[in-house]
Structure 1
Amino acid sequence: MFDLHRLRLLRELKHRGTLAAVADALSYAPSSVSHQLSQLEAEVGVPLLEPVGRRVRLTEQAEILVVHTEAVLERLERAEADIAASASDLTGTLRIASFQTAALALIPTALGLLHDLHPRLRVHVTQREPEQALPALQARDFDLVLAEEYPGHPNPRPTGLEQEDLLDDPLYLAPPHHKQPAETGSAVKALRALAHYPWVMEPEGTAARQWAMTLCREAGFEPDVRFESTDLLLHLRLVEQDHAAAFLPGLVWNGRPPTVPLRQLPGGRRTRRIFTVVRRGASRHPAIQACQDALRQAATLPLGQTRKGRTA
């Protein structure tokens, strides 16, 4: 029988890419990881790694082993969920990753609800964009991820992960105060009126940036992107002080009145989908189910309102 610990190291290498990354994630020495994988090769009786420059990649046989390892780990997570469900109270640590606006608008209320019902459950929250959080979820760095999907740009759906919708967040064009398009113009004309104005957008490689660039190009222009950040509060501040135009989601204000004039976007491009993602084997874990329940409740409350009805 193959050693499960060594199989997990092989799986980690599949997800993290390098021996150094595996060693860093698991607090091992790289030489120890390499030695364990060499022992696994001896157990299996075929090469599992092959050199590619300074790195290594998995052989066909190693890829087969990883598929079976994923199935074993999923079954073990289901066992863990069943054990937790048999206990009278939730304990342990739940690790959540969330992008910024969802973290600001939903997480605080959800944390309050969880604390009221399960005071012994320790919740750890990390701000992380979905592009980095979802691979980390597969690598078991997190237990639940809050992610987003922009219209016309569906996310890849990795095997072994489950999604559950939370809410649709409206998206708006936010022009600077002194560059207000005519109220009678169409949404496309309002967007086109900002063709020669500076823009703030999220960095290249993000789904939000791809969506924003597509929207501008469909309106007939290439935006002059002078500011790049994943911090949407910075986007808002640049618009407030007339430095840039932006696309902003409703969650930025968390139920408060908008601080800049907003215009509707062209039809079919007006909302982003916000959802939770968990590993399939862990989806029945009571801590994860309790967190999803709390997030659903937070999403149904008027934005800016806490669980006790106080305005934030």
Structure 2
Amino acid sequence: MYDLHRLRLLRELSHRGTLAAVADALGYSPSAISHQLGILERETGTRLLEPAGRRVRLSAAARQLVAHTETILRELERAEADIAASRTSITGTVHIATFQTAAQTLVLDVIQQLAHDHPRLSVTFAHVDAEAAIPALIARDYDLVLSEQYPGSPPPPHPGVSSEPLLTDPLLLAFPIDWSARSLADLAEAAWVMEHPGTAARAWSMAACRAAGYEPQVHFETSDLNLHSEIVERGLAAAFLPQLTFDPLRSFQTVSIDQSRIITASTRAGSDRNPAVNAIRSTLKQVASATH
């Protein structure tokens, strides 16, 4: 019988790409990872790793082993969920990956509510780039991921991941209080603040301006939406702001553009029976409903 620990190391390599990344994530040395995978090769009697320049890649046999390992881990996760469900109270630790807006407007409220309802349940969260969040969920770095979907950019399918919408968050056009603009088309000559290239928010923002007939002049780039608001309030640029980030104490103009982003919660298949994960999902829905 193959050693499950070594199978998990091979799976980690398939998700993280390099021995160094696996070692960093798991707290081993790269040489220790390599040694264990060498033993696994001898156990299986087939080559699992192939040289690819200065790195290695998985052979066809290794990819088959990883697929079987995924199935084994899903069943183990279901077993853990069944045992957890037999307890009289909800316990354990759930790790959430989130983006800034959701952390500020949803996650903190959820943590406070859960501390009252389930005091033996611990919740942690970290800001994770949208592009890395689902891979981190699949790699079991996190148990639940909050992500945002902008118009025109549906997320790619991820086998083994279940996602559900939490709320629809209207997008607003924001510009300084003394500007005379009334619509997006009026801001063709304006300076803009946007998120960084390569993000879904930036791609949508650029497409929205182009649909209005111009290429936006992006003077400022930041993922901090609070800073977007500050820049607009200081009269320096226009911005697209989700309604969840809107602070009525800020002094600038906003115009509805009849488009929204969708905030979703994603979990791994197999964790859908875990009472701790389900408690967080349920509380997220309650908080999102109250926010909406």
- Pick from 249, 258, 264 the counterpart of residue 256 of structure 2: 264
User: Aligned residue for 1:238?
Assistant: 231
User: Aligned residue for 2:10?
Assistant: 10
Tell me the percent identity. 53
User: Aligned residue for 2:42?
Assistant: 42
CA distance in 2, matches of 1:59, 1:48: 5
User: Aligned residue for 2:207?
Assistant: 214
Alignment of 1:165-180 (within 5 A): 165-180=165-180
Size of the aligned set, in residue pairs, is 292
- CA offsets 1:231-251 (integer angstroms, 9 cap, x no match): 100111000101111100001
CA distance in 1, matches of 2:151, 2:161: 21
User: Aligned residue for 1:60?
Assistant: 60
Alignment partner of 2:156: what SS? coil
CA distance in 1, matches of 2:224, 2:233: 15
- Pick from 182, 185, 194 the counterpart of residue 192 of structure 1: 185
Alignment partner of 2:187: what SS? coil
**1:264 partner amino acid:** S
How far 1:230 moved relative to its partner?
1.1
Alignment partner of 1:263: what SS? strand
- Pick from 240, 249, 260 the counterpart of residue 242 of structure 2: 249
TM-score (norm 1): 0.90
Unaligned runs of 5+ in 1: 183-189, 304-312
Higher share of residues assigned strand:
2
How far 1:205 moved relative to its partner?
1.2
CA distance in 1, matches of 2:251, 2:164: 31
Alignment of 1:1-312 (within 5 A): 1-182=1-182, 190-253=183-246, 256=248, 259-265=251-257, 267=258, 270-302=259-291
**1:300 partner amino acid:** S
CA distance in 2, matches of 1:180, 1:84: 59
Alignment partner of 1:297: what SS? helix
CA contact (8 A) 2:92 2:122 kept: yes
CA distance in 1, matches of 2:157, 2:251: 36
Alignment partner of 2:141: what SS? coil
**1:9 partner amino acid:** L
Unaligned runs of 5+ in 2: none
**1:3 partner amino acid:** D
**2:204 partner amino acid:** W
Compute the RMSD of aligned alpha carbons: 1.4
**2:215 partner amino acid:** E
How far 1:219 moved relative to its partner?
1.5
- CA offsets 1:188-217 (integer angstroms, 9 cap, x no match): xx2122122211111111111111111111
CA distance in 2, matches of 1:250, 1:178: 21
- CA offsets 1:139-166 (integer angstroms, 9 cap, x no match): 1110111111001111112111001111
**1:63 partner amino acid:** R
- CA offsets 1:55-74 (integer angstroms, 9 cap, x no match): 11111111111111111101
**1:18 partner amino acid:** T
How far 1:79 moved relative to its partner?
0.4
